[in-house]
Structure 1
Amino acid sequence: MGLFSFGKKSNDNKINWVNISSVDELNQAIADTQNKAGVFFKHSTRCSISSMALSRFESQWEENENIQLYFIDLIANRDVSNLLSELSGVMHQSPQVIVIQNEKEVYNASHNGISASEIKNAL
């Protein structure tokens, strides 16, 4: 990611994000955590710290068929972001990762605390 591209997701990563842009999509994604864990990345397209955390996460992440990655643009989809905080019981921060398994929050981190290896260890 370039210095002035912090509002955009990189297209050269290997991650297959599922974008969540509605409350219905969020509810379905949470229900799907009965089958595989969900990592929900809440990203602010206006924040360089969020972009750095996203880039670092994407460079560290190794695909795992038992984990689904979800991406929430919290500027465009504030209602979805707020509902995820409410349903998980995790106070909103940005950037933030909330990991849900069996419809329950099992791990969360924000800012520089977001770590792909810690997420895998939590699961």
Structure 2
Amino acid sequence: MGIKKIESIDQFDELYNEKTAYFFLKNSTTCPISHEGYKEVEKFSADHEDLPVYYLNVQDSRELSNHIAEKFGVKHESPQVLLFDDGDVIWHDSHWNITKKSLTNAWANK
């Protein structure tokens, strides 16, 4: 399935209404830590091709990033990954804690 880019609140709301469980990454195109986090999410996604994984670039989609932070009460960080399940953020982490292992553990414990 790979990682799919989401760019608008409308796209996110459609995703939110259709999927029950998925990971969502807030990524910065100018931050080396974000780049490493993105690579870890890619590794995780490659091993879990049936699991939906989405992302946004904060420089391109600031309004969407803020919308997610406000709607779910999770303070914005970048990079940041969130695990959504049944309409709630059930896990999130940021910066160097975004690893293939942390994603695998979060998914296994959902």
TM-score of the two chains, using structure 2 as the length reference: 0.86
- Please report the RMSD computed on the Cα atoms of aligned residues, expressed in angstroms: 1.6
Name structure 2 gaps, 5 residues minimum.
none
More helix, by proportion: 2
Which residue number corresponds to residue 2 of structure 2?
A: 16
* Count of equivalent residues: 106
CA distance in 2, matches of 1:97, 1:109: 6
Which residue number corresponds to residue 12 of structure 2?
A: 26
Give how far 1:100 is off.
0.5
Which residue number corresponds to residue 101 of structure 1?
A: 85
Which residue number corresponds to residue 85 of structure 1?
A: 69
1:63 pairs, out of 30, 48, 63, with 48
Could you list the per-position Cα deviations for residues 55-83 of structure 1 after superposition, in whole angstroms to 9, with x for gaps in the alignment? 13323441242x21001011001001111
Name structure 1 gaps, 5 residues minimum.
1-14
- The residue type paired with residue 71 of structure 1 is Y
Deviation >3 Å, runs of 4+: none
TM-score of the two chains, using structure 1 as the length reference: 0.77
